[in-house]
Chains A and B, each alone.
Chain A
Amino acid sequence: DIQMTQSPSSLSASVGDRVTITCQASQDISNSLNWYQQKPGKAPKLLIYGASNLETGVPSRFSGSGSVTDFSFTISSLQPEDIATYYCQHYGNLLYTFGQGTKLEIK
């Protein structure tokens, strides 16, 4: 089974900071990697699919990159409304694996 290792598990940053989260796959997954945002008490929201494609309606300060085993998710300028937990997700043929999540807080 493919394992997804996400880091850090928590992160504190200031408004306006550039924030980066990483996700590493245990084997080659090409670009089969999505990123979700989840706010407390809410369902997850898709931000990035296929490693680097921005979902429609998602602000351009969010971006994703990477391939094979190493991926990153970046918020170019942190906003107060970005406070949430972020998850990477590998997708296969009807199979999915989430990373452990990164809880993002405002400093």
Chain B
Amino acid sequence: EVQLVESGGGLVKPGGSLRLSCVASGLTFNIYSMNWVRQAPGKGLEWVSSISNSGSSISYADSVKGRFTISRDNAKNSLFLQMNSLRAEDTAVYYCARRFCTGGDCYQDYWGQGTLVTVSS
């Protein structure tokens, strides 16, 4: 059974930093691209960042570019999101999700339960 478990969320002051982790099990982690998706309270889904299976290709949403850094440790089946210069608008539940591709179609098929990040003074 595939499981993605996020951790590292919490309360942080504006301008502060936080590092999220996502540990994967039940899948061959090093062959899949991974993603972070967030959801502000009462709002819709927002894609945050993606990383290829090897870590050689990375992309970010404009809203977090220059402040957030995605990384992975395939030896530890782990995905990370380093979040710096946090703002109130970064308050959200952060989900990690596996990217699966078949026949040219790509989608997130497995998701974690999410970890809540609250940015407030």
Contact = CB atoms under 8 A, between A and B. Distances in A.
B78 to A, nearest CB: 19
Interface in B103-121: 103-109, 111-114
Contacts of B28: none
Interface string A55-66: 100000000000
Chain B binding site: helix, strand, loop or mixed by DSSP? strand
Interface residues of A, number: 27
A43 B114 contact: yes
A95 B59 CA distance: 7
Contact of B45 (A91, A93, A95, A98): A98
Nearest to B52: A94
B46 A91 contact: no
Contact of B105 (A1, A43, A49): A49
Given A43-B112, A95-B59, A34 B107 contact: yes
Interface of B: 33, 35, 37, 44-47, 50-52, 57-59, 62, 95, 97, 99, 103-109, 111-114
Interface of A: 1, 31-32, 34, 36, 38, 43-46, 49-50, 53, 55, 85, 87, 89, 91, 93-101
10 contacts: A45-B111, A46-B109, A49-B106, A85-B44, A87-B45, A89-B45, A89-B107, A91-B105, A94-B50, A98-B44
